[in-house]
Structure 1
Amino acid sequence: MSTRTAGDGEDPQIETREDLLAIFAKGEKPVERWRIGTEHEKFVYFRDDHRAPSYEEPGGIHALLIGLTKYGWEPIYEGGKIIALGGPDGNVSLEPAGQLELSGAPLENLHQTCAETGRHLEQVKAIGDRLGLGFLGLGMWPDKTRAELPIMPKGRYKIMLDHMPRVGTMGLDMMLRTCTIQTNLDYASEADMVKKFRVSLALQPLATALFANSPFTEGRPNGFLSYRSHIWTDTDPHRTGMLPFVYEDGFGYERYADYMLDVPMYFVFRDGGYVDAAGLSFRDFLKGDLSVLPGEKPLFGDWTDHLSTAFPEVRLKGYLEMRGADGGPWGTICALPAFWVGLLYDQTALDAAWDLVKHWTIEDHHRIRAEVPRLGLAARGPRGRTFQQLGKEVLAIADAGLAARARLNGIGDTEQGFLDPLREIVASGKVPAQRLLDRYHGEWQGDLSRVYDEMSY
């Protein structure tokens, strides 16, 4: 989640409706300036007992952040505590229970983003070795209850943790017990954004299936392949789920802004801290009628913050965020941006992907979204095709899109090789969660502690 700091410079006030749309229009870039941003989270644990470290304890999360400063990362403070780091490779930040996230820099090609991933993981592993910490690549804590997990000292998280139980039964699980991989991508125009949004929203369940990696809850199989994805179905109906309006005629910046104005607020950032505005209306804020800040109107930073508090499978924030994948091992971190870049950054590939999904009905989208977390590649799309069959066709399109980009590394390799982990999954029909379940019921003999050995970086 986003990290705000005080003193980021002048932040003008929003005066008109056009100001709300400006953040989306300013995201438009010519093709040569399109970039790739990759975000990935991982669970942090003590190697001796698999316990999740608190922020303050010796060898805990604070010590980890301090340790990373040896690589040139600069501390970012809130309330006198280091809650994030900034550097050339983006930002390192904390999720609510201490999950460690790299929000990578916007980069030109997949070779660069995978190298960035490698640098980050080598750094955290080196500091982890010194502190006795390990890092687990899964979509959900396999064995932890909520009560066993610490809370990080970030003001926005306290507000959200207090609010979540009012609007859903699994919001606390989302915040405390899950990890994801995300990809952020650009668009050339409003029309380009619309097409990319529609294609990526339709195919987000396929990404969920390919990266499904959260089959355990509190030490036992939970009946799902991606329980992380299932959690979103009862987190907060006002800010999650399918967005049927994306497929309506006239969808664009204005319609997305209207959606966001209907999403209840969480907070407002003022004077280095967070003001609790949970459940209040941004529309009232625009009129100067926000009860917690009477007479004040929003700044551009408030709107940017608010855009980060909706959690659909695809999110618009001046770029498009792909949000459907579970956290996973090293290779899959590079595979997710490869999947989406291949589909969305080549016009022929984008057109071909749209041809696959443009006839899907809203009912199809809802049914698929509900089935995939449990069934993975066995889920069926319209016309009865399994997602395994669909996956083969979509990966072929993505591969062609990457070939057309022709971005080579120093030894002449294209970006296509980053799809290899997904090709293996589709060929076998077994998603990562199913392989873990096979081990759990087989060689592990029900000993889930083995997952720490096999799924750590």
Structure 2
Amino acid sequence: MARDESDATPLTTRDELIEWFAAGEKPKDAFVIGTEHEKVPFYRASLAPVPYEGERGIGALLDGVRKATGWEPIVDAGRVIGLAAAQGGGAISLEPGGQFELSGAPLPDVHATTIELARHLDAARAAADPLGIGFLTLGMSPKWTRGETPVMPKSRYRIMKGYMPKVGTLGLDMMLRTATVQVNLDFASEADMVRKMRVGLALQPVATALFANSPFTDGRPNGFLSFRSEIWRHTDPDRTGMLPRAFEPGFGYEAYADWLLDVPMYFVKRGETYHDVSGASFRDLMEGRLAALPGERATRSDWANHASTAFPEVRLKRFIEMRGADVGDPGMIAAQAAFWVGLLYDDAALDAALDLVDGWDAAAREALRAEVPRRALEAEIAGRRLRDVARDALAIAEAGLRARGRRDAQGRDETLHLAPLHAIAAGRTRAEDLLALYEGPWNGSVDPAFGACTF
């Protein structure tokens, strides 16, 4: 999330919390696609991480991109911590360890997202090259320890950094050392949202497997193909996971709102100040009973900001976020959007995807979620190899994209963006390719990744 919300409209009833989600409904012909991706910056000469400060730091990088794009600065406590295009045209933000994130504009098709990505990367490289900065196409920084990783000067991150060790063992690694790609998609009604949430949650481990791309930590193999995904299993059980209630009868906006009410808060923003209320209840804020802010009551922006601090594998806001994939190269970023658009934006494909996961119970879904970070496509569910499930899911996504019929300037439909995933389903994950390089031509070093795995 590039910029925290600032809507002071009071919230006084639980119904208003539920209505906030319902306000995201759109007619199907107005559906759009929003892609987000993070990338880890590094100094090309030394392979060191990039701090915020200094003539060649992240602050200078943001200034260079600002000059190249004309985007407006996002300021926190006097420091530029992001950039925003005019009229909702996208934003750049910083993740806690300096990961450089593009939150794309809402666009009509996957073709448009690839054009947006290319333009962003051109601007980022134009600003980064004079500073000697590159960006990794990996789901986790492969070399530096947590202690060696700089922390960005963003107020909400200071609060999260203090809270994370209280609730999990790897939350700081999630904040400082991982990089993901996600796609944000629309829903037409509550029933449509429920169907998409169920498919998204059930098949999120398939996406994790197909996009597995984080096999190195601290300069050596970490024993996983997607360690980024494993890290999330040890971050904060109150706000992460497979959201089993989404599969229960009667699930909808109300049930998600009730779950979110039980997620402990991180902060309350008033003006430009972030007040640390970590661990507190949103219900207490609704009633004006927060110990840290007595008498202060909830606003619409408080609810929107709180929704952005819950991290299930599929997250509901006024759109649906698919969150299970390691970042990769530009082709993989486009593939992630194509995979989910194909599955969820065509009614026949969505029906087929629901049939594909029918009969998977909560225990099976949880077991798959636990197995995938280590085994990826060799994991199993309901007596099937995940590789076979992935092939089925890709076939459904391809049919969904063909039915959409969105064509680029060369007359090609969106199925062309699935090509990298078909290759992985028939062969090896990116992580397995990297491990083979590490054991072979890289001679047991991760340093070559800083040349081979860059944007």
For residue 39 of structure 1, what is the aligned residue in structure 2? 36
Paired residue for 1:448, among 428, 441, 446?
A: 446
For residue 84 of structure 1, what is the aligned residue in structure 2? 82
For residue 94 of structure 1, what is the aligned residue in structure 2? 94
Measure, in 2, the Cα distance between the counterparts of 1:300 and 1:242.
26
Conservation of the 8 A alpha-carbon contact between 1:96 and 1:176: yes
Asked whether 1:258 is paired with 2:272, we answer: no
Measure, in 1, the Cα distance between the counterparts of 2:257 and 2:169.
27
- SS of the aligned residue for 1:417 comes to helix
Conservation of the 8 A alpha-carbon contact between 1:215 and 1:222: yes
How far does the alpha carbon of each residue in 1:39-59 deviate from its partner, in whole angstroms, 9 at most, with x for none? 000000111101111111121
Asked whether 1:372 is paired with 2:369, we answer: no
Asked whether 1:415 is paired with 2:414, we answer: yes
Measure, in 2, the Cα distance between the counterparts of 1:425 and 1:167.
35
For residue 185 of structure 2, what is the aligned residue in structure 1? 185
For residue 71 of structure 2, what is the aligned residue in structure 1? 73
How far does the alpha carbon of each residue in 1:403-423 deviate from its partner, in whole angstroms, 9 at most, with x for none? 000001112111110000001
Conservation of the 8 A alpha-carbon contact between 1:170 and 1:234: yes
Conservation of the 8 A alpha-carbon contact between 2:92 and 2:102: yes
Measure, in 2, the Cα distance between the counterparts of 1:72 and 1:409.
27
- Summarize the alignment of residues 121-140 of structure 1 with structure 2, pairs less than 5 Å apart: 121-140=121-140
For residue 19 of structure 2, what is the aligned residue in structure 1? 22
Q: CA deviation at 1:99?
A: 0.5
- SS of the aligned residue for 1:163 comes to helix
Conservation of the 8 A alpha-carbon contact between 1:91 and 1:104: yes
Measure, in 2, the Cα distance between the counterparts of 1:242 and 1:274.
29
For residue 64 of structure 1, what is the aligned residue in structure 2? 61
After the TM superposition, which of the residue ranges 206-215 and 289-298 deviates more from structure 2? 289-298
Aligned residue identity for 1:85:
L
Q: CA deviation at 1:11?
A: 2.1
For residue 51 of structure 2, what is the aligned residue in structure 1? 54
Measure, in 2, the Cα distance between the counterparts of 1:151 and 1:362.
37
- Please report the RMSD computed on the Cα atoms of aligned residues, expressed in angstroms: 0.9
- SS of the aligned residue for 2:365 comes to helix
How far does the alpha carbon of each residue in 1:142-166 deviate from its partner, in whole angstroms, 9 at most, with x for none? 0110111111111000000001011
Conservation of the 8 A alpha-carbon contact between 2:2 and 2:92: no
- SS of the aligned residue for 1:293 comes to coil
Unmatched segments (≥5 aa) in structure 2: none
Paired residue for 2:434, among 418, 433, 436?
A: 436
**Identical aligned residues as a percent:** 55
Aligned residue identity for 2:435:
L
Measure, in 1, the Cα distance between the counterparts of 2:320 and 2:396.
20
- Alignment coverage as a number of residue pairs: 452
For residue 396 of structure 2, what is the aligned residue in structure 1? 397
- SS of the aligned residue for 2:61 comes to helix
Aligned residue identity for 1:394:
A
- SS of the aligned residue for 1:375 comes to helix
Aligned residue identity for 2:164:
M
Conservation of the 8 A alpha-carbon contact between 2:180 and 2:326: yes
For residue 242 of structure 2, what is the aligned residue in structure 1? 242
Conservation of the 8 A alpha-carbon contact between 1:136 and 1:455: yes
Conservation of the 8 A alpha-carbon contact between 2:211 and 2:328: yes
Asked whether 1:326 is paired with 2:326, we answer: yes
- Summarize the alignment of residues 158-177 of structure 1 with structure 2, pairs less than 5 Å apart: 158-177=158-177
For residue 196 of structure 2, what is the aligned residue in structure 1? 196
For residue 355 of structure 2, what is the aligned residue in structure 1? 355
Q: CA deviation at 1:434?
A: 0.2
Conservation of the 8 A alpha-carbon contact between 2:284 and 2:290: yes
Measure, in 1, the Cα distance between the counterparts of 2:444 and 2:13.
59
TM-score (norm 1): 0.98
- SS of the aligned residue for 1:148 comes to coil
How far does the alpha carbon of each residue in 1:320-345 deviate from its partner, in whole angstroms, 9 at most, with x for none? 00000001111101000000000000
Measure, in 2, the Cα distance between the counterparts of 1:39 and 1:234.
23
- Summarize the alignment of residues 213-232 of structure 1 with structure 2, pairs less than 5 Å apart: 213-232=213-232
Measure, in 1, the Cα distance between the counterparts of 2:2 and 2:363.
33
How far does the alpha carbon of each residue in 1:245-283 deviate from its partner, in whole angstroms, 9 at most, with x for none? 111000000000000000000000012010000000111
Measure, in 1, the Cα distance between the counterparts of 2:71 and 2:32.
22
Measure, in 1, the Cα distance between the counterparts of 2:283 and 2:272.
24
Q: CA deviation at 1:292?
A: 1.2
Unmatched segments (≥5 aa) in structure 1: none
Q: CA deviation at 1:32?
A: 0.7
Aligned residue identity for 2:112:
Q
Q: CA deviation at 1:2?
A: 4.1
Distance change >3 Å, CA 2–CA 239, structure 1 → 2: farther
Aligned residue identity for 1:454:
A
How far does the alpha carbon of each residue in 1:167-216 deviate from its partner, in whole angstroms, 9 at most, with x for none? 11100000000000011000000000000000010000000000000001
TM-score (norm 2): 0.98
Aligned residue identity for 2:390:
G
For residue 206 of structure 1, what is the aligned residue in structure 2? 206
For residue 385 of structure 2, what is the aligned residue in structure 1? 386
Measure, in 2, the Cα distance between the counterparts of 1:395 and 1:435.
21
Asked whether 1:268 is paired with 2:268, we answer: yes
Conservation of the 8 A alpha-carbon contact between 1:2 and 1:308: no
- SS of the aligned residue for 1:134 comes to strand
